[in-house]
Amino acid sequence: MKNAADVLRELSHPSNVATQSSMALVGSVDAAGADEDEKRKEKDLDALRRKPQLQAISTRELGSFRLAPWDVLHTLARAVALARRGAGRGLAEHWGSLKYSQALTGGSNVYMKLSAEGRETADYYKALQSDELGVGFGLALAKEVLARRYPEHMVSITPADTALRAGWALTSRDKGPRAGYRYRPRYFAEVWKPGEPSRVFPIESKGNHSNAATSHDQLASASAHVEAVHIGSWNETPSLVFSTELLVEGPLTVHALHSAGRDGWLDLGAKSTGRNLNHLVEDENFFPGIQPPTEGDRTPQKEPGFHVTPEHREWFRHVLARTAAAGLTAFAGDGEATVQYLTKRQGSRHFTGFAHAATGSVQDAREELLGIQFVGTDHVFRLNRTRVEAFSGVAEDLFRHLAGGRVEQYRSEVYARRDAWPVATWDSKWRGPVSMNPDGSVLAMRVLA
């Protein structure tokens, strides 16, 4: 059993991450989708509507991908901060990422893979581990691809269900005309720059402990999920799909494809109401369905899914910005600050009142990491019998804007600092691994003296 200090050191070591994206992969995924549709036909089910043309991601955008395990856990933690999947009722969900503190291993000249502890965990919790680590790797790669594609922009990740709930009823528990369609992307990536239109990419990220053939099936399924949201024109919304193959022996591989499209833009439009991101958002009740283009004098029936039509672009930009802000304040442990950013249907009630024992989170910690002052929340647990402390938070000056409801000011300042964040993965004064994101968030851990 490794001592905790060695585990923390390994968490900070960047490794190469194997990626796979090619025309051969496209062909395999198309074949997997065709096989699935045949099976559905035998069961008298309709074929799934998938992205019409998945493509390989260019080497320029995908190549030379390196990550420290701690960065993967940070990405996963940020992604699930609004998940409301466990007894934490949405306030401390992100601490669940720490269970993978010993699951990954690698080094400066090798590819990242499952550690001995990760392989042992896979024997008992295969589906959970592959799903959650698949999210971590997929979103980390999505951010890298989009940052290379749009070098002068920021990339914000928001949970799709949370964002969509501001306009549509997703389940029977939501008030409004229910969508009744279970296929939808898990996340949205918003690529933005102050004062300019932003662009949105639906993302689906899966994982498995099997083989490449399983990843082909997962990518075919992921294609149906991202196709369920159209932003603007019919079949013109760009998207990204990922499947992380977590082999029990050998390096892990992230299989990745994308769909191109001319839309996905959230511009202000000629009839802009000049929405200020600092203002509250109210729940809307849009009728679900994606409207295909007219064919002569005939208007086709709507397809299942969710359609952000041109008149709702500005509203959706508003929703995404405030949902992203909610994710940051939740990550810092501040339920009171989070409530202001979510509508009732988005789950604002989950950040007030009672929380189950050991699942609550309070924004009452302050730490200096790599020379920057952060505020947030902390969590103490045992790692191989040694007491360790984890800290998650947001740069103090940026957090004050978010706590005060000043999203416009936050976005302006975090954009100006996008290239100024330290790239070091270890803080000798803190004595532990540190991961900083361009959004101003940080995740750090150390052995308690």
Residue 228 forms part of a structural domain: yes
In a domain, 405, yes or no: no
Q: Does the residue 378 lie in any domain? A: no
pLDDT value for 90: 53
**Could you identify the residue written with the tokens 């509507």?**
49
Q: What integer pLDDT is reported at residue 87 of this predicted model? A: 47
Q: What is the pLDDT of residue 111?
A: 95
Domain annotation covers residue 210: yes
Residue 225 is assigned to a structural domain of this protein = yes
393 lies in a domain?
Answer: no
Strands 229-231 and 306-308 come out as parallel
Written as one letter, the residue type at 245 is: E
The number of distinct structural domains making up the chain is 1
In a domain, 222, yes or no: yes
Q: Distance between CA 59 and CA 12 in Å, rounded?
A: 26
Q: Which two tokens stand for residue 37?
A: 């549709």
Q: Burial letters for 111-144: b for 16+ Cβ neighbours within 10 Å, e otherwise?
A: ebbbbebbbebbeeebeebbbbbbbbbbbbbbbb
Do strands 229-231 and 239-245 pair parallel, antiparallel, or not at all (unpaired)?
Answer: unpaired
Short-list 242, 257, 56, CA closest to 138: 242
Q: How many residues does the chain have?
A: 449
Can you say whether the dihedral through the CA atoms of 344, 348, 352, 355 is positive or negative?
positive
Domain residues for the domain of 25 are 4-354
Residue type, 3: N
Parallel/antiparallel/unpaired status of strands 18-20 and 253-259: parallel
DSSP secondary structure letter of residue 38 = H
Tens-binned pLDDT, residue by residue, of the chain (449 aa): 789 999 999 999 999 999 999 999 999 999 999 999 999 999 999 889 999 899 999 999 998 899 999 999 999 999 999 876 554 455 578 999 999 999 999 988 899 999 999 998 877 788 999 999 999 999 999 999 999 999 999 999 999 999 999 999 887 777 777 777 889 999 999 999 999 999 999 999 999 999 999 999 999 999 999 999 999 999 999 999 999 999 989 999 999 999 999 999 998 665 666 789 999 999 999 999 999 998 888 889 999 999 999 999 999 999 999 999 999 999 999 988 999 999 999 988 777 765 544 455 677 889 999 999 999 999 999 999 999 999 999 999 999 999 999 999 999 999 999 999 999 999 999 999 999 999 999 999 999 97
Tell me, yes or no, whether 406 lies in a domain.
no
Overall pTM surpassing 0.85 (yes/no)? yes
Residue 19 and residue 8: Cα distance in Å, rounded? 25
